Amino acid sequence: MTTFLLLLASIIFMTFAWYGQLKLKFFEGRSLGFIILVSWGIAFFEYLLMVPANRIGYANGMTGYQLKVMQEMITLGVFVGFAWLVLGERLT
């Protein structure tokens, strides 16, 4: 459960780092360099959670394949919710 929750939190950070700048008002009119730096800052927290999630999962008997599949499944779920709620896009 710890691995899942850490992965979930890390993917939420990464989704905002990669896609938040497309719609959030904070980024409007900002330079690309500024947007990249802010995104890197957000992504830093993703790494702070992703690395321990993978280490904990692996130490508890999960394989690299299992960890990656879990991460991708969580990523798809988080992105669908993000695209719907933040970007205002429907799943088509």
Instruction: Give the 3-state DSSP-derived string for 53-73, with helices as H, strands as E and coil as C.
Output: HHHHHHHCCCCHHHHHHHHHH
pLDDT of 34: 95
Number of domains in the chain: 1
State both tokens at 34: 């500024």
Distances (CA, A) of 40 to 8, 18, 31, 46, 91: 18, 9, 14, 10, 28
Residue 90 lies in a domain: no
Residue 91 lies in a domain: no
Distance between CA atoms of 35 and 58, rounded to whole angstroms?
34
Distance between CA atoms of 7 and 25, rounded to whole angstroms?
27
Buried b (16+ CB within 10 A) or exposed e, 75-87: beebbeebbeeee
pLDDT along the chain (92 residues), means of 10: 96 94 90 95 95 97 97 97 94 86
Q: Which domain holds residue 67?
A: 2-85
Residue 34 lies in a domain: yes
pLDDT of 91: 87
